[in-house]
Amino acid sequence: MNWRVIIGIAKTHLFTKIKQTAIAALGVTFGIGSYIALVSFMTGLNGMLDDLILNKTPHVHIYNEIEPSKEQPIDIHEAYANTFNIVKSIKPKQTQRKIHNALPIIHNLSKNNDVIAAIPQLKTQIFYISGPIELGGNLSGIDIMKEVEFFNFKDYIVKGTPQDLLNSDVGILLGSGVASKMSLGIGDRVQIRTAVGTNFPLKVIGVFQSGIADLDNVQSFVNLRTAQKILGVPRNHITDINVKLHDIDKAFPLAKKIEGQFNLKAIDIKTANAQFETGTNIRNLITYAVSITLLIVAGFGIYNILNMLIYEKMNDIAILKATGFSGKDVQYIFLSQAMIIGFVGGILGLLIGYIISSIIDKIAFETEALPTITTYPVNFNVWFYLIGISFAMVSTFLAGYLPSRKARKIDPVRIIRGQ
């Protein structure tokens, strides 16, 4: 096979029909360009929405649920083994929310290879007191640096810094709703009262905003040690453990294992947020459906133009065959024309797609829910570009295949006689 000759002839054909060539290539460009722009934007959006949930939600959340015992004494007693027992108005036993042996559990989890981090929290209910007003709220004692490292906590701090909280024994990071209701800002003092009635003075070192108003109106954070001091409990008093994993798919089995092993409640992220995956899948589906449709339309354009070209080039085909080019050579000439159109159109499409994505990436997009995001999210992933160009080549190959096979089968004698 003499490719230089074949490509040379293909190129000459394309250049002398530059208008049709351009139209065919533009079809591909349009298809690939919109695919790139669409998929970059859509997956960017998906990624943002996923992050919204994945980054601030622990993959496994371990806590001690206060609930009535599942087995009542009568169920265990031999004497009533064969009877039908009904116990009404079962109440939970008086227990603490604290996780027993929390520190050994955290230690144990940290050694698990699937686990990136297991972080303790101490959650409690409090009142914010400002003069005569008392506001109900939640206070969490956290390991601030680990929350920043593993759960993107910094993204939600709109005033102050994590360092400020770390360095302050009496510092509190107020929810934005709490802060605005009580007109508090950095440096102000705020009193809190625990469930048992002790008051504790704290100093506002920052404000956080999660974007979820119900949360921002009640939630505040202090250092874990501060929270333990407020409640007057020892250092091993912990109510929640948040676990982050390498592979989110392992969350469910791990949660089940923990529940079985430690007699605790463990909720995995997928159970807690079942809807989020469905949304992602549907958005991906739409993206690919639209892109494939565009490429099919472009493919038909190429098919048409190549068919036309072959009718116009009947004489050339007959001459080539008469002077010793084989059917295959002729087929490759037209197939390479399709591939050249696909390649040039595809590369241009990647370029256009990149330009459009870059423009989208610059468009301002501000939302309460996402304080860190200022422009539309775009996912610049090399894979999209590789898929895009392969897609262009494959679809033009398919579009060029039938017409080129026709060219291969043309009988030169019939054409020569026809003159």
Partner 1 sequence: MILEAKNINKYFKKPVPFHVLKDINFTVDDGEFISIMGKSGCGKSTLLYILSTMDTDYDGQLYLKNELVTGKSRDSLSYIRNKHIGFVFQFHYLLSEFSVLENVMLPAKKLGEKSLKEIEKAAFEKLEILNIEKLAHKKASQISGGEKQRVAIARALINNPSIIMGDEPTGNLDSHNAENVFKIFKNLSEEQGLSLLIVTHDIDFANKTDRIIEMLDGRIIS
Helix axis angle, 314-322 to 327-362, nearest 10°: 130
Per CB under 8 A, contacts with partner 1 among 8-27 are 8-9, 12-13, 16
In the chain, the amino acid numbered 94 is Q
Which one among 130, 327, 373, 398 touches partner 1, defined by CB under 8 A?
327
> Do residues 238 and 99 touch, judged by C-beta distance below 8 A?
yes
Smallest distance from the beta carbon of 408 to partner 1, in angstroms? 10
Strand pairing category for 189-194 and 157-159 = unpaired
CA distance 219 to 174: 7
Which one among 164, 216, 240, 316 touches partner 1, defined by CB under 8 A?
316
Q: Is residue 157 close enough to count as binding partner 1 by CB under 8 A?
A: no
Question: For residue 354, which of 390, 379, 387, 391 has the smallest C-alpha distance?
Answer: 379
Q: Is residue 367 close enough to count as binding partner 1 by CB under 8 A?
A: no
Smallest distance from the beta carbon of 336 to partner 1, in angstroms? 15
Buried b (16+ CB within 10 A) or exposed e, 197-216: eeebebebbbbbbbbeeebb
Q: Is residue 197 close enough to count as binding partner 1 by CB under 8 A?
A: no
Beta-ladder partners of 199: 193
Q: Is residue 306 close enough to count as binding partner 1 by CB under 8 A?
A: no
Q: Is residue 320 close enough to count as binding partner 1 by CB under 8 A?
A: yes
323 is written with which tokens? 């002077």
Smallest distance from the beta carbon of 372 to partner 1, in angstroms? 59
Question: For residue 7, which of 337, 358, 384, 409 has the smallest C-alpha distance?
Answer: 337
Smallest distance from the beta carbon of 384 to partner 1, in angstroms? 38
CA distance 343 to 339: 6
Stretch that binds partner 1, among 154-162, 169-177, 227-235, 410-418 (CB under 8 A): 410-418
Smallest distance from the beta carbon of 398 to partner 1, in angstroms? 25
Nearer to partner 1, 258 or 333 (CB): 333
Smallest distance from the beta carbon of 6 to partner 1, in angstroms? 9
Q: Is residue 404 close enough to count as binding partner 1 by CB under 8 A?
A: no
Nearer to partner 1, 16 or 275 (CB): 16
DSSP per-residue letters across 328-371: HHHHHHHHHHHHHHHHHHHHHHHHHHHHHHHHHHHSB---TT-T
Q: Is residue 329 close enough to count as binding partner 1 by CB under 8 A?
A: yes
Nearer to partner 1, 61 or 408 (CB): 408
> Do residues 400 and 39 touch, judged by C-beta distance below 8 A?
no
User: In Å, how far are 146, 369, 389, 414 from 138, measured between CA atoms?
Assistant: 20, 20, 53, 89
Smallest distance from the beta carbon of 301 to partner 1, in angstroms? 22
Given the rule CB under 8 A, which residues bind partner 1?
2, 4-5, 8-9, 12-13, 16, 315-316, 318-329, 412-413, 416-417, 419
